[in-house]
Structure 1
Amino acid sequence: MTDTTASDLPKVSVIVPTKNVERTMERCLRSIAAQSWGNVELIVVDNFSTDATFDIAQRYADVAVQAGPERSAQRNLAIERSSGEYVLWIDADMVLTPHVLEDAMTCAVAGDLTGVFIPEVTVGDGFWTACRSLERKCYVGVELIEAPRLIKREWFVTHGGFVADVAGQEDADLRMRLLAQGVPMGHIDTYILHDEGRLTFPDIMRKRYYYGKSLPAYNRAQPGAISQQGVATMRAMVRGLPILAGDPVHATALVGLRACEAAAYAAGAFAENRATRRAGVAG
């Protein structure tokens, strides 16, 4: 960074929704405090954690409040409380490498961009976490899969925040809205670490089933997006064949994992549609 003082730099509001994430919380917030970009505010919205999460948040955050019921509502509240020209949204199991904000803001300011895509690198222990890490390597630069995490606050004010009735695809919905509007966006190579811990197969399936329950709402909000993302995923895997070939054991398991995840998503969507139909009949 140049000798520009912090007050001369555009402010970035980093927003973090939390709930019972004390394992990763302090590392996440420390990484925000250690950014090379000098003008940053940190806003944490905690969903009434029962562990030490909120205590940690209060030690680091400029604004720390408690509210729910889901990440979308928490993020929207954080955006309301923010004062930065740009908003960076992350989860509490993510760690910013030291120059993420500086590189993203340099990109955004130079091109007067509305959003900047930032790649993720999965870290953690265990076999299934290694599969997820391998998968992410295939997605770098794919706009229908990666997330534009740095966004002008003005865009949120004008177009609304995260959709409240979608859990798990709220980031995809945001991305699809930005892409549909054709707003200027860019990419950086500097990455965010995503600490997924030790993933287990049952945990993955439970989460995909839960996320699947909001797929009908996502499909209503973004017709055709699910199939577009499916095609983009397949193309990314084909493009990433050299990467996958370098780790055949985890690549083979990844193929099976993706198939099981698709089934779990479908089961969750089916259960939600059935519950909706029953509610309609009862009403």
Structure 2
Amino acid sequence: MGGNKQDRALISVIVPVYNVERYLDQCVQSIVDQTYRNLEIILVDDGSTDSCPAKCDDWAGRDDRIMVVHRPNGGLSAARNTGIDHSTGDYIGFVDSDDWLDSRMYEVLLSNLLKESADISIISSTYEYGEGRSFSNKLASQYLVMDSAQAFRYVNIPGYYDVAAWDKLCIRSLFDDIRYPEDVRKNEDYGVTYKLLDKAGKIVYDSQRLYHYRQRLDSLSNTVGAVSMEPVHATKYMMDIVAKRYPDALSYARYGYLRAACGVYDTLLRSDSKYRTARIALQREISSFARRYVKSIEKEVHLSQARRIQFHMISYIPWAYGLLFKLYKLVKRTRLE
């Protein structure tokens, strides 16, 4: 463990909880077992209708570092904001209640943050598919100390960190005027992460894979349902920030927008006919943007051959892209089954 400053620092760990009775105990146990002990663990029961409210109260009775807040259902953003409002820690982190942590996660996050005098500390993650199957698309052995301009480059490059809330530890003051958008029910992390990266003076990233991100077919992030356009809106907002304040990173921001927009377009391809108008409009938007900027992006950002093909197919032969995408998803699903 580090010196006295690290030992005294209080970390508020905010855990929004909603109908995850199968996974909650593993999640909370992994937080309770952290090697860094000075934690304030805030379980925000967001109107759960299963056994989660009782489980939360039981955990509070077993560990005096745990606080439980019961609230009417308002969604993930509202639950996170409630946790922030109830927190008293010097630093704030978030955990999704169906995931779990390596025992050293908060020790590493805080140690790096203090060592580099940073405002945000970030680690890496592993996707967990059950039955011992896991995957990570993050590059190993990376340690980066960045200013905001550099952080906006790397957040838009595959293989480093994402926009998620749960892989980060932030100094408390960053949240003085930042909250999660309660009118956004999916992909709410995007805009907030961009605001945090813009506001931070220094950011440190360590690629140790210390967060275990459970992949569930019924989770909010993996269901098609109502399609969220938030990644498109938020990455446009991010491009505006970068264009005004960090123009040297603009090609990376444009690449990040294209990746996010293509991801939403892929979701629209899997959705029912009521999204046809939105799908056509987004395809035209991507096409116009790609034709205008892909060549300049390629001069600064390494694009894989697959990514180049994707951009060109959506731009010029979207019907063929749609057929190939649906075939790919069918083959992938068959392999998983």
Q: Same fold (TM over 0.5)?
A: yes
The Cα offsets for residues 100-151 of structure 1, whole Å up to 9 and x where unpaired, read as 000000011112211112212111238xx96xx54x4147774235145211
Q: 1:85, 1:152 within 8 Å by CA — same for their partners in 2?
A: yes
- Over the residues paired in the alignment, what is the CA RMSD in angstroms? 3.8
**Structure-1 residue corresponding to 2:26:** 27
Rate the CA distance shift 1:183–1:124 in 2: closer, same or farther, 3 A.
Answer: same
**Structure-1 residue corresponding to 2:197:** 179
Alpha-carbon distance in structure 1 between the residues aligned to 2:139 and 2:254: 16
Q: 1:212, 1:265 within 8 Å by CA — same for their partners in 2?
A: no
The CA deviation at 1:222 is 4.4
Q: 1:12, 1:85 within 8 Å by CA — same for their partners in 2?
A: yes
The Cα offsets for residues 144-196 of structure 1, whole Å up to 9 and x where unpaired, read as 35145211111101x22212222222212122112333531111233201122
The Cα offsets for residues 54-74 of structure 1, whole Å up to 9 and x where unpaired, read as 211122242111223111111
**Structure-2 residue corresponding to 1:154:** 173
**Structure-2 residue corresponding to 1:65:** 69
- Paired residue for 1:263, among 245, 269, 272? 269
Task: Letter of the 1:137 partner, please give it.
Answer: N
**Structure-2 residue corresponding to 1:36:** 35
Matched, 1:167 2:194: no
Q: 1:93, 1:196 within 8 Å by CA — same for their partners in 2?
A: no
- Paired residue for 1:125, among 130, 143, 151? 130
User: 5+ unaligned residues in a row in structure 2: which ranges?
Assistant: 61-65, 143-153, 242-252, 282-337
TM-score (norm 1): 0.71
Task: Letter of the 1:55 partner, please give it.
Answer: A
Q: 2:119, 2:171 within 8 Å by CA — same for their partners in 1?
A: yes
2:168 is paired with a residue whose SS is strand
The CA deviation at 1:260 is 3.7
Matches within 5 A, 1:186-265: 186-190=204-208, 191-197=210-216, 199=217, 207-215=223-231, 218=234, 222=238, 228-231=255-258, 260-261=266-267, 263-264=269-270
Alpha-carbon distance in structure 2 between the residues aligned to 1:17 and 1:218: 22
Q: 1:17, 1:44 within 8 Å by CA — same for their partners in 2?
A: yes
**Structure-2 residue corresponding to 1:243:** none
**Structure-1 residue corresponding to 2:100:** 95
TM-score (norm 2): 0.60
Q: 1:213, 1:269 within 8 Å by CA — same for their partners in 2?
A: no
Flag the structure with more relative contact order, 1 or 2, with Cα contacts below 8 A and sequence separation at least 6. Answer: 1
Rate the CA distance shift 1:164–1:219 in 2: closer, same or farther, 3 A.
Answer: farther
Rate the CA distance shift 1:205–1:113 in 2: closer, same or farther, 3 A.
Answer: closer
Rate the CA distance shift 1:139–1:72 in 2: closer, same or farther, 3 A.
Answer: farther
Q: Identity across aligned pairs (percent)?
A: 21
2:169 is paired with a residue whose SS is strand
Rate the CA distance shift 1:48–1:205 in 2: closer, same or farther, 3 A.
Answer: closer
Rate the CA distance shift 1:260–1:79 in 2: closer, same or farther, 3 A.
Answer: same
Matched, 1:13 2:12: yes
User: 5+ unaligned residues in a row in structure 1: which ranges?
Assistant: 235-254, 274-283
